[in-house]
Amino acid sequence: MFHLIYVLAKKQYLSFLFVISFCLSIYISPVQAQSAVERVIIISVDSMNNDFIFNENENPDFSITPNIGSLVKNGASFTMAEAVMPTKTQVNHVTIVSGSYADNIGIVGNYVFDPSKNSKAYMGNIDFPWKNPSLIKADTIFKAMEREDSDYTSLIVAGKNYVGRPIWADYQSCPAYTSDNAEKLGVMKFPEIMLWDSPDEWVMDNALLLLDEVDPDITLINLPFLDPVQHSFGHGSMESWAALAWADYQIGRLLQYLIESGKLESTLLVVTADHGQTNTWERVNLQKILRSEGLDANVISDGAFASVFLTNEADLDEAVDLLSGLEYIDGIWYGDGFDDIHIRTPYTGDIAVSMAPPYEAFSRIRPPFMGIHGGLQQRFVPLIFFGPNVERGLLLEKASLTDIVPTICEITGYPLPLDSQGNVLPVIDRTQGEAPPITPKFVEYPRYTLAYIPVIFLFLSVLTLIPALVLQKNYGYFMVEISPGNLSNIIPSLLMNTGVIFAIAASFYSYIVNLYAVPGIQPDSFLTAMDFGILGSFLISISLSLIILWYAPLALRFGVQKISRRPLSIKTIPFATVFLFISQIIFTTFNLLVRIPFSIAFHVFMTFFFGGLGLSYVYRIYMVNKYVERRKRIALIATIASGVLVAVIWFYVMMFLLFPSYLYEMGITGII
């Protein structure tokens, strides 16, 4: 009897253990699946429209983007994910890491208008959130993870200041800012010259370095260069496809690193974009239209989105009626309507509008572009999840960028940011314990072709040097006398100075085309975009600088000579500036033939320029010491002092015009 009871009890005990074990297995298995994700990497390809990736006509079987295509085929994708309004870089990158709309983020653009400043100057009311991160109010997944466990590590590597500066992370890198801990690990500085964003290659170089050194729990990588390419050449241009292919190449480099380091199986990858772009060829000055009807307003506009700040709130209904009747406005919001698209912020203004393609709102801050974004028509982007716990081969349509963080947190168990406004997407498959194996593919395009604009300037500089040397018959003398009877002696000086202008232009532009070389894009193409605007502004700036540094003193001395009716003696210019001239010629030739790495390009450029300038003044000191007999000491001191002054002036000309981010980083100026 007791034996029978014992057997039954034993069977019940075993059954009980089986039930408990089964329940525990159900409960524990998701936790085990969650722990399979050891890191999350979010990749944002700036301005990547959804029709770039999901386009059977232009990109059949992902032939132009094979690495993104591999993630699509082996992951879960959304073909029409929506960016939040306004479709601007800064807003949507905060959305990507917070799950918040603009109303939680606190801003409505890359720059915002603050009427409370009451500045009479228009720019005096403009704030730049990347320089003032406190304007951004949204909580992020980086901060949430830091609060839960300080051992979590986060990383941002961005090619845009809008992304890499204002979003806090343990390690940060962008053109104008690098956190101390990232800099100590060897992050390369980029000499941002405020023409375009830094190249994707530079971004991925730094990302791979920090991923290897730190292996952060969560990373945001911003590949920016598709954005300026489309701004300059338009959406769907050959240049835009080349830039997209180069971004895909960088993603391939990341995949290769993850495979070789054995990290791919435990990495959750998310690939998306902050917004798309559409083409434009019509600019509309909304402020002028409003004021023509007697409605006083300030309009802050950027691309296809504009905020209207009325001087008199009583004009609201009249302004709304006027703007609503314009055929080129496809969205208008005011009052409670701001809540419909979540854009109620202190900087939204009284009215917000979206411009229909091909129109854009006139802006006093930036030049016109061929491609724009900001409005309703640039919302749709691809969204791809790949890795452990992600369903494979899933292709869906609708999603929002606000859904990225909630989905990541559901997959990984990471803490959700406060006030996150998104939803968990149906991409989770707990049976997939690790990421599927994939093979990165590298589509090769022509890496570099000779740039013709620097060659033209190089030719012009040599063309002015030869007659300068031929005409300067007394080049062996320290001084040349000029009188009304022999004014021709000044011609070599004028030719030489003109030649130096051309040589500096050749040097600078060879530097740019080297720095921004993108395979498949003619290196000169950016210089000729936007009607030579960049080219013209640089030449005007350099010419004015040279007039101040060289021509103005000469003209002053000529005036004194005219008044006193005495002969004027000037220094023989060709040999006094020939070292600067030669240094620029050498640098240009070298830079056109050899691609100087990002890490040393800035230093090489500045070394050649100031080295040539320094040698020119060393030669002047030698000539003074050799030929001056009376008051030699005074002449030497004056020559040295003028050399130092000219070098300082040139340094600030270079930094303010070409490399303002370095000044910003050093704290010298905050106005650029």
Q: What is the pLDDT of residues 231-263, one digit of tens each?
A: 989 999 999 999 999 999 999 999 999 999 999
Contacts of range 285-294, beta carbons closer than 8 Å, 24 or more positions apart: 285/362, 286/323, 286/353, 286/361, 286/362, 287/362, 288/362, 289/322, 289/326, 290/319, 290/322, 290/323, 293/318, 293/322
As a 3-state breakdown, the chain gives helix, strand, coil percent values, each rounded to 5, of 50, 15, 35
Q: Which residue has the higher pLDDT, 280 or 554?
A: 280
E strand residue ranges, 288-393: 297-302, 305-310, 329-334, 351-355, 359-361, 371-372, 380-386
Which of the pair, 212 or 579, is modelled with greater confidence?
212
Task: For residue 86, say if its preceding peptide bond is cis, omega within 30 degrees of 0.
Answer: yes
Distance (Å, whole) CA 343 – CA 83: 13
pLDDT tens digits, 48-62:
999 999 988 999 999
| 211 pLDDT above the threshold of 90 | yes
pLDDT (tens digit per residue) in 62-82:
999 999 999 999 999 999 999
In angstroms, how far is CA 536 from the centroid of its own chain? 22
Backbone phi and psi for residue 346, each to the nearest 5 degrees, phi listed first: -65, -10
Neighbours of 203 (CB within 10 A): 27
Highest averaged pLDDT of the listed ranges 313-317, 406-410, 443-447: 406-410
How far, in Å, CA of 306 to CA of 286, rounded? Answer: 9
Round to whole Å and give the CA distance between 119 and 349.
Answer: 16
Q: Is the pLDDT of residue 480 over 70?
A: no
Q: Are strands 380-386 and 267-272 parallel, antiparallel or unpaired?
A: antiparallel
pLDDT of residue 215: 96
Is residue 124 predicted with pLDDT exceeding 50? yes
CA distance 314 to 484: 71
Going by pLDDT thresholds of 50, 70 and 90, the confidence category of residue 525 is confident
> Is residue 512's pLDDT more than 70?
yes
CA-nearest of 662, 207, 400, 16 to 672 is 662
Closest to 225 (Cα-Cα) out of 252, 207, 250, 206: 250
Residue 401 near residue 84 (C-beta atoms within 8 A): yes
**Cis link prior to 358 (omega < 30° from 0)?**
yes
Answer whether residue 553 shows pLDDT above 70: no
Q: Among candidates 350, 581, 367, which has minimal Cα distance to 458?
A: 581
Tell me the pLDDT band of 341, cut-offs 50, 70 and 90: very high
Residue with the bigger pLDDT between 14 and 607: it is 607
Confirm if 284 and 361 have CB atoms less than 8 A apart. Answer: yes
Q: What residues contact residue 161 under an 8 Å CB cut-off, 6+ apart?
A: 130, 174, 175, 176, 177, 192, 661
Q: Is residue 368 over pLDDT 90?
A: no
Can you give the pLDDT at residue 53? Answer: 96
- The confidence score (pLDDT) of residue 82 equals 98
pLDDT at residue 640, rounded to an integer: 87
Give dist(CA 125, CA 135) in Å, integer.
14
Q: Is 220 helix (H, G, I), strand (E, B) or coil?
A: strand
pLDDT above 60: residue 574: no
Residue 239 CA to residue 631 CA, distance in Å, equals: 62
Q: Is residue 119 helix, strand or coil?
A: coil
Q: What number is the average pLDDT over the span 476-505? A: 70
Q: Do residues 206 and 344 lie in contact, with contact meaning Cβ atoms separated by under 8 Å? A: no
- Using pLDDT thresholds of 50, 70 and 90, give the confidence band for residue 650: confident
**First vs last C-alpha separation in the chain:** 94
Strand, helix or coil for residue 460: helix
Look up residue 428 and give its DSSP letter: B
Average pLDDT score over the chain? 85
pLDDT at 18 over 50: no
Distance, in Å, from the CA atom of 75 to the CA atom of 437, rounded to the nearest integer, reads: 11
Rounded to whole angstroms, how far apart are CA atoms 188 and 200? 13
Strands 282-284 and 297-302: unpaired
Tokens standing for residue 561 = 């000579």
Q: Torsions phi, psi of 254, nearest 5?
A: -65, -45
β-pairing, 380-386 vs 39-45, is unpaired
Written as one letter, the residue type at 378 is Q
* 82 or 460, which is more confident: 82
**Looking at per-residue confidence, does 561 or 395 come out higher?**
395
CA pair distance 257, 215, nearest whole angstrom = 12
Contact 487, 418 (CB under 8 A): no
Average pLDDT over residues 604-614: 92
323 CB contacts (<8 Å, ≥6 apart)?
286, 290, 308, 329, 332, 351, 353
Residue 668 to residue 78: CA distance in whole angstroms: 46
Which ranges constitute the DSSP H helices of 413-524?
A: 452-471, 491-515
Pairwise pLDDT comparison (9 vs 114), residue with the higher score: 114
Instruction: Please tell me the least confidently modeled range out of 253-257, 449-453, 533-537.
Output: 533-537
User: Alpha-carbon torsion 147, 90, 74, 247, what sign?
Assistant: negative
- Number of helices followed by number of strands (H, E) in the chain: 23, 21
Give phi and psi for 285, each to the nearest 5. -90, 90
Distance CA 39, CA 219 (A): 8
What's the mean pLDDT in 628-654? 81
Least confident of 416-425, 456-465, 621-630: 621-630
- Structure tokens that stand for 482 in this block: 């000029």
- Please state, in angstroms and rounded to a whole number, the distance separating the CA atoms of residues 81 and 275: 10
Per-residue pLDDT band for 505 (boundaries 50, 70, 90) equals confident
Say if residues 553 and 573 touch (Cβ distance below 8 Å).
Answer: no
Confidence of residue 500 (pLDDT cuts 50, 70, 90): confident
pLDDT for 282-338, tens place per residue? 999 999 999 999 999 999 998 999 999 999 999 999 999 999 999 999 999 999 999
Strand order in the sheet with 380-386: 177-178, 171-174, 154-158, 218-223, 39-45, 267-272, 380-386, 76-82, 394-400
Both tokens of residue 9?
């009890």
What token pair was written down for 621?
């000191």
Q: How far apart are CA 243 and CA 233, in angstroms?
A: 11
DSSP-assigned beta bridge partners for residue 156: 172, 220
pLDDT exceeds 60 at position 35: no
pLDDT at 598: 85
Nearest to 455 by CA among 662, 661, 313, 593: 593
Cα distance between residue 592 and residue 309, in whole Å? 49
In sequence order, the 6+-apart residues with CB closer than 8 A to the CB of 213 are 185, 186
pLDDT value at position 13?
44
Residue 2 has pLDDT above 60, yes or no: no
Provide the percentage of residues in the chain whose pLDDT is more than 90: 54
pLDDT, tens only, 159-199: 999 999 999 999 999 988 899 999 999 998 887 776 788 99
Give residue 406's Cα distance to chain centre: 27
Identify whether the C-beta of residue 284 lies closer than 8 Å to the C-beta of residue 328.
yes
Asked if 403 contacts 304 with a C-beta cutoff of 8 angstroms, the reply is: no
Helices of type H across 141-237 = 141-148, 161-164, 180-184, 200-214, 226-233
